Amino acid sequence: MSFIEAIILGIIQGLTEFLPVSSSGHLELAKALLGDTSLPQESMMFTIVLHLATALSTLVIFRAEVSRIIRGIFQFSNNDELQFSIKIVISMVPAAAIGFLFSDEMETLFDRQILLVGAMLWLTGALLFIADQARHTDKEVSYSHAIIVGIAQAIAILPGISRSGATIATSVLLGIDRTKAASFSFLMVVPLILGKVAKDILDDGLHLYDENLMVLGAGFVTAFITGLLACQWMIKLVQNAQLRYFSYYCFVVGGLAISYSLYGQ
């Protein structure tokens, strides 16, 4: 992978991690179009580094909320911040379980599976379209909501299903306030990403060499900067109930991906 290709993929990750169009799906499509010949393990490593960048951009955007949660936890009292952090932990369980039990199988899904990406983009588009019709969204995130949204996040491990789209759409369909749905969606993935990176480092799963360090750095920086912009934009879009426009986009790109997979290679 070249330096320029890493920048392009970083921009794609930064934009699509927060916009409900599947960052993993777009990364796989872009790698295929750019002719990336990385091994599945190397491709997965680059994907993890880009996700780490957008996780950090999430922490920057929601630094006030994160600060309140940390203070609430260390107050050792049953406050709103502590309950929110418990709900975050609950939401992580399904995705963490799948990642732990099926990590090897997951790597094969990130090896230019274009047909799968196209089909899952159609599924994402349908979910976004349905969720955009929801009108009664004024609930707080409950413990049962956290479990259901966590299951949606686990399913979104599949490339082509938007993690933010799946979790936000599920939250909206459950009647959760749109602003709170977006905040919960973006914050719930941060511990998972940081945990995944830590696990790979401990397992010696991230191999950094001189020839790829600059490439990874370029992707990381561009993903972080574009992630800052996309996160703020997405919050406004969710508040204004404009998810349907992204559903149209997913239908079009999914169709193009399926066509490319069947006829373009």
pLDDT for 203 equals 67
For 4-32, the pLDDT digits (tens) are 888 988 898 888 888 888 777 787 788 77
Residue (of 104, 84, 87, 99) closest to 146 by Cα position = 87
Are the CB atoms for 20 and 243 separated by under 8 Å? yes
For 223-261, the pLDDT digits (tens) are 999 999 998 888 888 777 678 888 999 999 999 989 988
85, HSE (Cβ side, Cα atoms, 13 Å): 18
Residue with tokens 């979790």: 167
DSSP 193-218: HHHHHHHHHHTT-----HHHHHHHHH
Is 200 a residue whose pLDDT tops 90? Answer: no
pLDDT for 171 equals 93
Mean pLDDT of the chain: 82
Average pLDDT on 162-188 reads 89
Is 70 a residue whose pLDDT tops 60? Answer: yes
Identify the weakest region by mean pLDDT among 116-120, 159-163, 211-215: 211-215
Is 210 a residue whose pLDDT tops 60? Answer: no
Are the CB atoms for 49 and 227 separated by under 8 Å? no
Query: What does pTM read for this prediction?
Result: 0.79
- ∠ CA(125), CA(144), CA(96), 5° rounding? 70
- Parse the chain into domains and list their residue ranges: 3-264
